[in-house]
Structure 1
Amino acid sequence: MASAMTRQAPIGEAPDADAMEAIARATIARLPDAFRAHLGDVVLIVEEYADDETLKALGIDHPLELSGLYHGRPVGDKSSMESGALPDRIHLYRQAILAEWCETGVRFDDLVAHVTIHEIGHHFGLSDADMHALEESVAD
């Protein structure tokens, strides 16, 4: 008797940090010039998990609940008089993104692009609606 269930092909190896960074950088490269022009000094960091201090500061109990984070001040809030500050940073947390990928079935590159654009949106002080529109503008 044939089974009514179909078998899914195995997902394979989880993408590593370098693959995730490459997708994030390709996403940034597809952004409109007006956005890319203000991202040159932003540091992109792929880490396995957010550290305990970050999670505690955000009131997050489990590291898989945080897939990305922007550290810095939105472009419109900056002053030319500021000096000595750390560069703005976008953190992508690999294990949280992998967990969401497995849980949702969203294409991995789409998920990494989504998280990257969301964090870039914070850099620009964008609303969620603006972030969604920006994401649509770079979709393949």
Structure 2
Amino acid sequence: MVGGVPRRAFEKLVEKALERLPEEFRQALDNLAIVIEDWPDPAIVEEITGDSEEVLYGLFTGTPLPERRFDDSGDLPPVIALYQGPLEEDFPERSELAREVEITLVHELAHFMGFDEDTVREYGYE
């Protein structure tokens, strides 16, 4: 438990968010690992944002679908990390937390699928 939400309860929020995904997002889940971590590594946050104090709720790492090639098949799967600590800290109400988990998950999935920010907005996730 990072803050007030036990890990299993947070995992349930992620599972429910996965169930609510639009069909084209659910189809992209094959060969993709989704992990929950307590907090992001400050060095990674600084590398991505330029500021180690910046808030990061999730992170996609790996090769986006449009860039994958047949000979990538032996590589480790792409990963979406969801960071429970910052999400919980910024969204203490359970309903707000559930919504932000879904938004973060879709946002990171969109990176995996090669979508730009405008396309993500079209789905209602900013």
TM-score (norm 1): 0.74
- Aligned counterparts of 1:119 and 1:51: Cα–Cα separation in 2: 17
Aligned pair count?
122
Q: Which residue of 2 aligns with 1:107?
A: 96
Please, which runs of 5 or more residues in structure 1 have no aligned partner? 1-12
Q: Which residue of 2 aligns with 1:134?
A: 123
Percent identical: 23
- Aligned counterparts of 1:130 and 1:22: Cα–Cα separation in 2: 27
When the two chains are superposed, the root-mean-square deviation of aligned CA atoms in Å is 2.4
Per-residue CA deviations over 1:29-78 (Å, capped at 9, x if unaligned) read: 2223332122121111111111244234323312x611110011111111
TM-score (norm 2): 0.81
Among residues 28, 31, 36, which one is paired with 1:41 in the alignment? 31
- Aligned counterparts of 2:84 and 2:58: Cα–Cα separation in 1: 9
- Deviation beyond 4 Å, 4+ runs, structure 1: none
Please, which runs of 5 or more residues in structure 2 have no aligned partner? none
| Alignment CA distance shift 1:38-1:105 (3 Å) | closer
CA contact (8 A) 1:69 1:90 kept: yes
- Aligned counterparts of 1:67 and 1:30: Cα–Cα separation in 2: 19
